[in-house]
Structure 1
Amino acid sequence: MPELQSIFSQAGLNISHVTMTARKLPSLNALRAFEASARHRRFTLAGEELNVTAGAVSHQVKALEEELGVVLFERLSNQLRLTQAGQRYLDVVGDAFDRIERGTRGLYAQADRQQLAISTSPNFAAKWLVPRLGEFTAQYPELELRLDQSERHANFIREDIDVAIRYGEGPWSGLSCTRLGDEFLLPVCAPALAGFRSLSEIAGAGLLHVNDRQAWTDWFAEQGEQDEPVAVGGGVVFNQESAAVDAAIAGQGVALARSSLVAHALQQRRLMVPLADTLTLKQTAQAYWLVYPQEGEMNGNVAAFTNWLLQSFEKDRQFWKELTGK
């Protein structure tokens, strides 16, 4: 105690004036009873989940309501209905339990084996991540990877996903978000078709489209050197950008692609950028982001993957500077 008094004295404090305040939290059992009852809408089903009687659950919820001074449920004849106060409290309690569950699951996974579950779109997986993934696994051979490819955003609460790579404007609230790099559109084609001398020659070589033909129309307009709009009619329309890139690699025409999705093929010289030193490269509002729940910041595997991604995108940035001089 004298040592503690000395520390406080040096800080200009009197230990008698220092109050150690405990967290003001309800019983964990009461919170579990409330959360389970809110999900099942019945005390009976909540009791079965918690391995206690329905009466015990009802008692815990009643005690919680008395402690909080609010009614959390309307007791109907055959079910429970959350009050407005109950719904607001469930949003808080449910989120807290979800985060505790995810954090606990992550610790169990680290204790059992090293693993990382990654969610990303099929386009990014095929054209950026998979071609480079061997570099990462060579650095971390003990780490088990699982790659989940989907167009929809991963639900970190309901799915066993550690990190996701998203394409969008970001950032997203409630998640740790790291922008991986700037994104822009540029024309690409097979080396055999790369001897273009003008934009009109590019248009005449056969354009490959994704979803519609508007992107090419907008891109030609942004170049700003044409007296008249460039005609972009004709050409195959793909619903996946990776397919348009594959068609360009096969020499079937010129694709307008996101820079991240063609960087590897350009570095491998399977694609070329026609008129690279004269093009206007306009950064898009959307980009690729690495996102994960905030508790993932404590996960060493997530940190390793984050660092590797940032280093890889930095290499791409240097490549673009050398290629375009910009």
Structure 2
Amino acid sequence: MPPLNALRAFEAAARHLSFKKAAEELHITPAAISQQVRALEDHVGRPLFRRITRGLVLTEAGATAAPLLTEGLDRLAEASARMQDAPQSRILTVSVAPSLAAKWLVPRLERFREAHPDFDIRLDATNALSTFEEDGVDVALRFGGGSYRGLHAECLLAETAFPVCSPRLLDHGPPLETPGDLVAHTLLHIQWAMDTDTAPNWQMWLRAAGVDTVDPSRGPRFSHDSMAVQAAIEGQGVALAVSTLVVDDLAAGRLVRPFPPTVSEETTFGYYLVYPDDKAADPRVRAFRDWINAEMGHTRGGA
């Protein structure tokens, strides 16, 4: 058998078709990945990748072996997890903000159950930052800038933020054709976003839109994003929302965007999947990571 580290390096590089991304996943350098792959190629006596200008392409030998190796490593990780914690191995505890849980994650969880019937999800809906080992959390979904010291963090979705309102507001309220028209409308605020610089708020958005005639602090304030979104659905004003929390309401016609997309809706924030390094090989974490990346991909595409 070839060395296990070489097999892990090849499997990660084959999935990503990138030494750099494989190195980020395994927390080693791209040079180390390349060295391990070359050692494996020497061991088996044939090339497994073709190096091209823009990345990697699997050879026939590499393409034949890669899916079997992925399955084998998953089985090894599952066996290891069962030896360490057999009674809890089927339950994955996910820490997530209440608004993201209610507006986005819960409506999609049935698809995870269908794809992974051997695992059960336990949601810990809280705005408090998880300590993982102390509170029994396996993975967390966090909104922010991506700097989480001592933890593995991968960006699921770079967020945009934009105004939304009920279509009834456009039909029966004052004109709402340009950002300056917000002066005649009620702004709906999320309190925690107003108190921090790690989330978009009206002050940021109006400044980016070049509007200085609207008071960014006036209007009712809500402790959760989902409450502000619901108030907008009820026609009580205009909310500034991140795209993930309103994608379903926009698709259903409960909300509309009064203004066309502009550069002012781009943010430096996003949703991140965060977990301790020692959870990376856990089959529950790997299954959830792959599933939520796919779901966020559908959201990016507007599905």
Deviations 1:88-119 (A, max 9, x none): xxxxxxxxxxxxxxx98764445665221111
**TM-score, normalised with respect to structure 1:** 0.59
Q: Size of the alignment, in residue pairs?
A: 215
Say which of 253, 256, 269 aligns to 1:269: 253
Question: 1:208 is matched by which residue type in structure 2?
Answer: L
How far did residue 316 of structure 1 move? 1.6
How far did residue 232 of structure 1 move? 4.4
Distance 2:222 2:82 in 1: 39
Deviations 1:129-178 (A, max 9, x none): 11222222222233211111121111122122111111222232332211
How far did residue 201 of structure 1 move? 2.8
What's the counterpart of residue 99 of structure 2?
Answer: 123
Unaligned runs of 5+ in 2: 1-78
How far did residue 197 of structure 1 move? 1.9
Distance 1:287 1:107 in 2: 36
Residues 163 and 291, structure 1, Cα contact 8 Å, conserved in 2: yes
What's the counterpart of residue 254 of structure 1?
Answer: 238
Question: 1:273 is matched by which residue type in structure 2?
Answer: R
Deviations 1:192-249 (A, max 9, x none): 224532223334232111224993233122112x5x5224464211122221111111
Relative distance call for 1:106 and 1:173 in structure 2 (3 A) is farther
Say which of 280, 286, 298 aligns to 1:315: 298
Question: 2:270 is matched by which residue type in structure 1?
Answer: A
What's the counterpart of residue 62 of structure 1?
Answer: none
Q: Which structure is richer in relative contact order (CA contacts within 8 A, separation 6 or more)?
A: 2
Q: Which runs of structure 2 are paired with 1:1-20 in the superposition (5 Å)? A: none
Root-mean-square deviation (CA, aligned residues, Å) is: 2.7
Question: 1:170 is matched by which residue type in structure 2?
Answer: G
Distance 2:109 2:139 in 1: 15
**TM-score, normalised with respect to structure 2:** 0.63
Is it true that 1:174 corresponds to 2:160 in the alignment? no
Q: Which runs of structure 2 are paired with 1:42-121 in the superposition (5 Å)? A: 107-110=83-86, 113-121=89-97
Relative distance call for 1:245 and 1:107 in structure 2 (3 A) is farther
Distance 2:292 2:87 in 1: 25
Comparing 264-273 with 210-219, greater Cα deviation is found at: 210-219
Is it true that 1:245 corresponds to 2:229 in the alignment? yes
Say which of 201, 214, 220 aligns to 2:206: 220
Relative distance call for 1:107 and 1:270 in structure 2 (3 A) is farther
Is it true that 1:296 corresponds to 2:276 in the alignment? no
Question: 1:313 is matched by which residue type in structure 2?
Answer: M
What's the counterpart of residue 121 of structure 2?
Answer: 145
Distance 1:219 1:199 in 2: 10
Percent identical residues:
34
Say which of 164, 172, 186 aligns to 1:206: 186
Relative distance call for 1:160 and 1:250 in structure 2 (3 A) is same
Higher Rg of the two aligned structures: 1
Relative distance call for 1:209 and 1:173 in structure 2 (3 A) is closer
SS at 2:230 equivalent: helix
Relative distance call for 1:306 and 1:204 in structure 2 (3 A) is same
Unaligned runs of 5+ in 1: 1-102, 321-326
SS at 1:319 equivalent: coil
Question: 2:188 is matched by which residue type in structure 1?
Answer: L
What's the counterpart of residue 229 of structure 1?
Answer: 213
What's the counterpart of residue 26 of structure 1?
Answer: none
Relative distance call for 1:107 and 1:253 in structure 2 (3 A) is farther
Say which of 139, 144, 165 aligns to 1:189: 165
Relative distance call for 1:238 and 1:140 in structure 2 (3 A) is same
Distance 1:188 1:204 in 2: 15
Distance 2:269 2:142 in 1: 10
Distance 2:153 2:242 in 1: 20
Distance 1:261 1:107 in 2: 39
